[in-house]
Structure 1
Amino acid sequence: MARQEVGKVQEMLRTSPQEKGQQEAPPTDAGDILENDNGPVQQTEGCSDTELPLEGAQARLEELKESLYKREREITELLEAEQTPIPPIPVAQPPCAVLLRIVVEKAHDICNEVSEARLLVDHMFEENRVALAQAREKLDHMSQMTADDNNIKEEVNSAPEWLDSSDEYASNVLLLQETLRECEITQMALDCIRVGATPSLSDCDTTPELDEILGKGEGMKSVGQQLLLLQDQLKQVREENRKVVENYTSERTMRKKYYNMVEDMKGKIRVFCRIRPMSRTEAAQGGAIAVGRLDDYSVTVETSRGPREFQFDWVFGGESSQEDVFQDTNRLIQSAIDGFNVCIFAYGQTGSGKTFTMVGDRDQRSPGIMPRAFNAVFDILQENATKFDFKVSVYMLELYNDRLQDLFVSGAEAQSRRVEIKRNRKGLVFAQGAETKEASSAGELFAMFQQACANRHNAATKMNMESSRSHLIIGIMVESRNLTNGSVSFGKLSLVDLAGSERAAKTGAKDDQLKEANSINKSLSALGDVISALSSDLPHIPYRNSKLTQIMQDSLGGNAKTLMVVNVSPSDCNLDETLTSLIYATRVKTITNTAQRNLESKEIAQLKEVIIKLRSGQPVEDEEV
């Protein structure tokens, strides 16, 4: 406001002489005599009263200037106190300098990031170089034509298509000169873009002719437009690439999903892979991550020969929870209640997380598949209690040093009890001599499970604090009677937590632990032979080489719906064991089972009850026969 008032006062001072000229009398000659009260006076230049300065306005102007200076000092002191920098006054620069700097820097950054842009700029550079050479050649040719004025007409008559008449000759010369300037400027800009140099143009180092050309922005306008077009094309290409990748990933995932569904319908064993997180020991040893989850169905392993990829029915990463792993097993549990044989087992090296996957942690804050399956079984039974009559029985065994032991008993009784593996006519495997208990609720079944885990053999090794020294086998038999038609179905859910393969050098096993490790490795080796024979369609399957393969005979190549969870470590220090586990799991995925429902009609079920009563000496009613 102070500056505005100063401006008004100055305007008043400038306009006062003009007003004075309009109000005074017409001018007279230098010798004219004027009269006043004191007598005749000769008029002189510049001595009129109206030419005197406006003293009040002049004083007001000085006062306003002083106030303005004072106010500016106060603002400056305030800015310095707040440490706020005073904005610099922009220095006027030629428009061509600003345009060149911005365009060249932006284009150079794009060329560094995108190889396609770099190739395009090189192509533009070559094209402009050719156009520049052609323009110079034509201009030199036309200059030679103008050297001899006497031969202009003759040269015009014999000129090429681009030179039709003498008038067009002059315009073509100017056009060629303009084209030459544009090509030179474009060449300079493209050269700066390629090498990354930033041009600096100022009034002192540019000719008026060059300033005129660059001021118009004709040459740089062409380069700028091409660069803007290049940026738009780059955005479009990136967007198209993103859509292509998304579509490819979606189609790939969908294809694998449908393929797995077809294989499941054929009876193929389903295989899940779970990659546990890095352990503290592995991190302390400086181990690098060599195993990764490529997508929901793929695992990639970094080997010395390059990455290897494995395909499974589902892949769980280190961030997956216990609930995520159990989510896809509900359908199998329903199949066991419907009368099918179902087997879920975990496989992998020691310390890979098998027991955590199947059992969970010690405090059961993160329960595994087994305790979750107990709850799921009785939840399904409760939902169908009005339609079916159910009976649930269970046995729990461990295979320790190639000997089956009943986990429902302990001490000397467990050592003296003999448990043998038998098969019925339908190929169903059962443990003869093992105690079978009935369970009426999930809590009761879980209490039996805790008792079995307490009797299981565990030990600490260098690989983990609680290493399973035996194979845990849990069999849950579900007998359901349809209250509508009286049919009876028998289903069995086998839950197996295999002990891990190990190397004595890594685990530090000695004495009894070394004996246990040898027995574990022997049984797992026999399991590997069975898997290889089944995947190769050999006529003979060596089930009888180990009790482990005998008890899993109806799960591998039998009549069960089977799910295998292969557990692996992500660390490169366990790379050999990880590859072995993944190769075995890949072979298991090719095995085909023939799952059949164990269903009997009402009449057959009644006859079996009669036979059981007759064998036990119980009386039989006529209605039952």
Structure 2
Amino acid sequence: MGSGASVSEGLPRPEGPEGSESEPGPAPGPAGWSNDTLQAQEEEEEETPACHTIEVQSEESDTQAEEEEERVTQTVVNAATTETAAEGEAEVSLDFETFLHSDGTLYSCFNHHGDRVYVDESQKLQPFPQEWYNQGRFVTANNEVSGHLQTQASSSEPAVREDDRTGSIYIQGKGTVMTYMFEERLNVCRFWDPHSGVWLLLPLQWEMNVNFIKSRIQRVMSALPGLVDQKEITAALRQCNYDPEEVISVYLTMFGEILLQTSPSGDHNYSDLNSFRALLERDRVIEDLKQNLQSREKEVDNLFQRNNYLAREVCYLNDVVQHLNQKLAELEADKQEAREKIRSLLNHRAPAVPPARTATKPAMDANQLGQVRSLTRELNVSNKQLRSTVDQVMTDMKNQLEQMKGVAGKLTEVEKVAAREVEELRSLYRREAVERKSLYNKLLELRGNIRVFCRCRKSSASSFCLETTDDQEVVLVQKGSKKRFQFDKVFPQSSTQEEVFAETLPLITSCVDGYNVCILAYGQTGSGKTYTMMGAKQNPGVNIRSIRELLRICADKEKVSYTLKISMLEIYNDSLNDLLTKSAGAALDIRVQGKTVSVPGLTQTRVQTEADILSVMETGEKNRKIASTKMNIQSSRSHLVVALEVEGLDEVLGRTSRGTLTLCDLAGSERISKTEAEGQRLVEAAAINKSLTALGQVFGALKNNALHVPFRNSKLTHLLQPCLSGDAKCCVFVNASPDVRDAVETLSTLQFGSSIRQVSLGRATQNISPVKNKTSNKSTTN
């Protein structure tokens, strides 16, 4: 039998006061309703005063509806069969069919001795109207199968028919797409109205307050912080069968990751409930401005080409005029020469014959004079023609020059307008970039993510394995394949020490406010870690610049007195060595008291000026373990840890702030096969690789939110435990070598940096405590 959508499917109803069931309610979904039924349903929803009973239909109600439909259909068929048998027929022949009306309703039909009948909404047999043949079509199993095969064969066009259910809509990023109203079985939230005795569709405003719906709305809002309109989420849940995962997937597909950002004020009750659409609209405006700018640039290029063409035309005309002037001069010369010849011929004519003498023959005959006369006439004609040609060319040149002046004026105006639009576009882009950067930094600060910067070492090699596409992406080319890695900031080979320090400046300045800050440099040996952290004497790195900046900030705050103490130690072969002590002392050890990790006996030097910093750094660098390997002439054989404690006393507010800036220059990871380390170098390399492996295990545990984080597997991770336990702001420099021979180590380094970029430490806490003396307490109370 065909589809039974035409048979009304009953909903669960409570019994009346006398135990009898009330009249059957409407169908569970609007897919099979006509337009009049839908309009009446909407009016009935608006007039309904309040909901008394709320119920969400489940799959069990759908199963009961199907059983009821099958029972009614079987009853109708049995009735038709009984009627036919009563007429004395030997055999009963019923051809079942399904008719799809243009209004979207499916009717069950069958032929009974050539007469076609259908089952109406009241489960009664009715003659099939003749006018319906032009208002729909019969659906058979063959048509359904062929349509299914056609859908599988053609992926470019959807297998739906053209009727009033089809439409189109424009979606940002996808263009104009086709839409179709499908008839499906869905969960529908209804309430029982005792006055009318039917189940009514619950209005959207009331449906939001149902606990069943509330939990799904909160689930969607927690996954998509940028989506705060609960009405819109409720409507989407209706369409997605109250499946929050499908709603999240649909919104992410339509609007992208912009919904993962929180509202600008952090409050879900702010006025603009569609801020993500506003951002998309702003992106669309920016894209339109870019396209407009490109079109204007094309117009300017066309005008420049036109200008160049006219300039070449003017040069050509100048050459023509010069050539004509030369021709005119030659003709003038020929004319003058001809005149001289005529004058000489006239002078050489014989004088008149005297009476006493006999007449002599003239010196020139008439033919020669005729030739001279014709030559002179031709010269005059050529001269006049040349003058007229030159006048005409000069007139044309003046007209073209006037046109060029007008075009040049228009070109100047177009250039001014284009320059203004370019400047406006640049200003808009800068504001947008600053705003996005600010929101991104706030998001990182709230989540407590580790900021990871990638810096490529300068190299003079002929071929490189690293490509920097933009300031946040680096591409590794290895064996013909490309792998892309995303970082918070990518510094190319041409980056300077000032540019690198500028990105870490916001973290460093927060140390004065009582926050703990940690900066690490990671990478293979010879990748530029020590240059990034320590730098050269004339071009210092992050360490000296950070302490110098802290001294400047402390000096600017006149009402707060600061005390700065610096210490330097190295972790060599998994043992701690004090770099500022004058004599070799006993081995240092790590003590843990609560959340505080300290090193008893470590030398701390108070610094007040930049000269103090340089003196302390120079002393520490002289005592550091450095050796030569096959990969690096001056390879650091230990981890350097520089700790600067900043303690500020605010007597006005009566409180003390304590912040620690930890600068860690890790030893380079290395392969024994490349460095060819032997003896003591081999022992050092083993200790370095062991500590770096322990550091990777700590980051892996933090990334997976493990219950146990193995900080005590090495002295390095044990010492860095306060910086990686969620109580400090952390930044990691991933130093990479662009040489092709180091592609394997570079890949490992980039994978390490990309992995720790996903670690969330939590929001850092500010270390502020009240002053214990009485004077500060009084000032604080006042």
Partner of 1:404: 576
Distance between the aligned counterparts of 1:331 and 1:506, measured in 2? 39
Among candidates 482, 489, 501, match of residue 657 of structure 2: 489
CA contact (8 A) 1:253 1:296 kept: no
Among candidates 590, 593, 612, match of residue 758 of structure 2: 590
2:439 counterpart of 1:271: no
SS at match of 1:375: helix
Query: How far did 1:374 drift?
Result: 2.1
1:376 maps to amino acid: E
Distance between the aligned counterparts of 2:344 and 2:624, measured in 1? 114
SS at match of 2:722: coil
CA contact (8 A) 1:419 1:434 kept: no
Query: How far did 1:455 drift?
Result: 1.2
Distance between the aligned counterparts of 1:302 and 1:253, measured in 2? 29
Distance 1:609 1:252, change over 3 A: closer
TM-score (norm 1): 0.56
Distance 1:573 1:394, change over 3 A: same
Partner of 1:448: 616
Cα distance per residue 1:377-423 (max 9 Å; x no partner)? 21111111x2101111122111111111211225542xx24331424
2:695 counterpart of 1:524: no
2:514 maps to amino acid: G
1:292-303 alignment to 2 at 5 Å? 292-303=467-478
TM-score (norm 2): 0.45
SS at match of 2:563: strand
2:334 counterpart of 1:6: yes
Distance 1:534 1:359, change over 3 A: same
SS at match of 1:338: coil
Distance 1:507 1:607, change over 3 A: farther
Among candidates 361, 365, 386, match of residue 538 of structure 2: 365
Partner of 2:746: 578
Distance between the aligned counterparts of 1:9 and 1:406, measured in 2? 108
Query: How far did 1:376 drift?
Result: 1.2
Of structures 1 and 2, the one with the larger relative CO (CA 8 A, separation 6+) is 1
CA contact (8 A) 2:653 2:776 kept: no
1:380 maps to amino acid: I
Partner of 1:341: 516
Name stretches of at least 5 consecutive residues in structure 1 with no aligned partner: 18-35, 39-45, 62-238, 611-625
2:716 counterpart of 1:548: yes
Partner of 1:261: 441
Distance between the aligned counterparts of 2:556 and 2:432, measured in 1? 38
2:632 counterpart of 1:464: yes
1:275 maps to amino acid: C
Partner of 2:773: 606
1:451 maps to amino acid: T
Among candidates 562, 565, 581, match of residue 390 of structure 1: 562
Among candidates 483, 490, 493, match of residue 315 of structure 1: 490
Partner of 2:554: 381
Cα distance per residue 1:476-534 (max 9 Å; x no partner)? 11110113212110010001000011111111211111001000000000000111111
Distance between the aligned counterparts of 2:661 and 2:738, measured in 1? 31
Query: How far did 1:254 drift?
Result: 7.2
CA contact (8 A) 1:374 1:446 kept: no
1:554 maps to amino acid: P
CA contact (8 A) 2:515 2:658 kept: yes
CA contact (8 A) 1:422 1:432 kept: no
Partner of 1:563: 731
Partner of 2:116: none
Distance between the aligned counterparts of 1:37 and 1:293, measured in 2? 111
Distance between the aligned counterparts of 1:304 and 1:253, measured in 2? 36
Distance between the aligned counterparts of 2:767 and 2:730, measured in 1? 16
2:680 counterpart of 1:512: yes
Distance between the aligned counterparts of 2:639 and 2:596, measured in 1? 20
Partner of 2:465: 290
Distance between the aligned counterparts of 2:751 and 2:643, measured in 1? 28
Cα distance per residue 1:74-108 (max 9 Å; x no partner)? xxxxxxxxxxxxxxxxxxxxxxxxxxxxxxxxxxx
CA contact (8 A) 2:534 2:541 kept: yes
CA contact (8 A) 1:557 1:591 kept: no
Which protein has the bigger helix share? 1
Structure with the greater alpha carbon radius of gyration: 1
2:516 maps to amino acid: N
2:445 maps to amino acid: M
1:405-420 alignment to 2 at 5 Å? 405-409=577-581, 411-413=583-585, 416-420=586-590
Distance between the aligned counterparts of 1:5 and 1:334, measured in 2? 89
Distance between the aligned counterparts of 1:470 and 1:367, measured in 2? 20
Distance 1:559 1:49, change over 3 A: closer
CA contact (8 A) 2:572 2:638 kept: yes
Query: How far did 1:539 drift?
Result: 2.3
Distance 1:542 1:48, change over 3 A: closer
1:8-157 alignment to 2 at 5 Å? 8-10=336-338, 51=366
Distance between the aligned counterparts of 1:507 and 1:456, measured in 2? 20
CA contact (8 A) 2:652 2:776 kept: no
Query: How far did 1:538 drift?
Result: 2.1
Query: How far did 1:467 drift?
Result: 0.6
2:457 maps to amino acid: R
CA contact (8 A) 1:378 1:441 kept: yes
Query: How far did 1:3 drift?
Result: 4.7
Distance between the aligned counterparts of 1:608 and 1:595, measured in 2? 30
Query: How far did 1:7 drift?
Result: 2.1
Distance 1:452 1:10, change over 3 A: same
SS at match of 1:446: helix
1:599 maps to amino acid: I
Distance between the aligned counterparts of 1:49 and 1:506, measured in 2? 109
Partner of 1:422: 592
Query: How far did 1:11 drift?
Result: 7.3
SS at match of 1:329: helix
SS at match of 1:520: helix
Partner of 1:434: 602
Distance between the aligned counterparts of 2:702 and 2:500, measured in 1? 26
CA contact (8 A) 2:590 2:597 kept: no
1:430 maps to amino acid: S
Cα distance per residue 1:129-155 (max 9 Å; x no partner)? xxxxxxxxxxxxxxxxxxxxxxxxxxx
Partner of 1:101: none
Cα distance per residue 1:197-236 (max 9 Å; x no partner)? xxxxxxxxxxxxxxxxxxxxxxxxxxxxxxxxxxxxxxxx
CA contact (8 A) 2:651 2:776 kept: no
Distance between the aligned counterparts of 1:258 and 1:388, measured in 2? 28
Quote the RMSD (CA, aligned, Å). 4.1
1:564 maps to amino acid: V
Partner of 1:326: 501
Partner of 1:118: none
Cα distance per residue 1:304-334 (max 9 Å; x no partner)? 2611111111111111121221122222221
Partner of 1:190: none
CA contact (8 A) 1:417 1:433 kept: no
Query: How far did 1:355 drift?
Result: 0.7
